[in-house]
Amino acid sequence: MDKKDGVEALGRSFDYFKSNENFDEKQYKKEVFREDAVIEAFDDYKHRWQEKTQRPLADAFEACPEALQKQSRVFRSVIKLDRNFHVYVHGDHDMIQKGVDEHGRKYYILYYHEES
C-alpha cells in the first residue's frame, strides 16, 4: 500500500470508529481495507503481532468515544516526502494524483478550489 492509499485507509478507519458503536473485525476490514491483498497483509501482521507479544486481540469490542476523541488529535493524514515536505490531507483524496516522470522522479499533483 503506498502512502496515499495508507492515508485514505487511515481516514476510512477514523470514519469507521466515528460511525460505529461496536468494532467488528470483518466489517472493519471490508470497509477500511477493501482489497483482498491488503486484508491479507493486515491478517498476517495481526497474527505475527499476537505471536510476538503473546496477547490475543479481540475480533469485536465496544468502541470508546473518549478514546476516539483523544486520538483524533493524532489521526492526521500526512504524506511525508523526503525530508523537506509534509502534505496534510484533510478531505477529498481524489484531489491528489501520484505519478513518476520520464526521469524516474516521483511526484504528486494536488488539485484545489481556492487557496486559503
Report the distance separating Cα 77 and Cα 90, nearest Å: 7
User: Where do the structural domains in the chain lie, given as residue ranges?
Assistant: 3-110
Provide the grid cell at 105: 522522479
Question: What integer pLDDT is reported at residue 54 of this predicted model?
Answer: 94
Give the model confidence (pLDDT) of 7-28 as tens digits. 788 888 888 988 999 999 999 9
Over the stretch 44-67, which tens digit does the pLDDT of each residue have?
999 999 999 999 999 999 988 887
Instruction: Read off the pLDDT of residues 69-116 as tens digits, 9 standing for 90 and up.
Output: 777 655 556 778 888 888 877 767 678 888 899 999 988 888 888 887
